[in-house]
């Protein structure tokens, strides 16, 4: 063995409409899940949105090992529910989901203002 320790895998969920980041986390078509090791994306998968039922998605994503969620916007109650599950919330995100995931992996993500006003 060479003594190197593998970096932990982070799992992020990005709210997506088509190939772009959704403006509202709870109203998107699907969630793109990226598994990131170090600064590399090592796996990608999709989860179809289960609908807008308060508390359901934070519990489901926490059970999948998600460490962060990213979206254009999210209501404050939803932010609190994710944080209670130990999931970091990054809002004000725009662009293609693949580009956003790569920026996250390389610590170049730039959050903005939430695009949701509730």
Residue 40 within any structural domain of the chain: yes
Residue 115 within any structural domain of the chain: no
Residue 20 within any structural domain of the chain: yes
Residue 1 within any structural domain of the chain: no
Which residue range(s) make up the domain with 29? 9-54+67-103
* pLDDT tens string 57-90: 999 999 999 999 999 999 999 999 999 999 999 9
Structural domains of the chain, count: 1
CATH number of the domain encompassing residue 89: 3.30.420.130
Instruction: Write the CB contacts of 58 (distance below 8 Å, at least 6 apart in sequence).
Output: 78, 81, 82, 84, 85, 87
* pLDDT tens string 4-57: 777 789 999 999 999 999 998 888 999 999 999 999 999 999 998 887 777 889
Residue 82 within any structural domain of the chain: yes
Query: 42 burial class (0-12, 13-18, 19+ CB within 10 angstroms)?
Result: exposed
Residue 62 within any structural domain of the chain: no
Predicted TM-score of the model (pTM): 0.90
């Amino acid at each position: 063995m060479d003594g190197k320790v593998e970096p932990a895998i982070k799992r992020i969920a990005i709210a997506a409409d088509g190939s772009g980041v959704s403006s509202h986390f709870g109203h998107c078509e699907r969630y793109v899940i990226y598994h990131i090791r170090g600064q590399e994306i090592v796996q990608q998968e999709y989860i179809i949105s289960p609908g807008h039922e308060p508390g359901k998605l934070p519990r489901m994503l926490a059970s999948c090992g998600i460490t962060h969620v990213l979206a254009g916007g999210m209501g404050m109650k939803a932010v609190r529910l994710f944080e209670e599950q130990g999931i970091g919330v990054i809002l004000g995100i725009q662009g293609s989901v693949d580009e956003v995931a790569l920026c996250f992996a390389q610590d170049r993500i730039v959050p903005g203002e939430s695009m949701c006003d509730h």
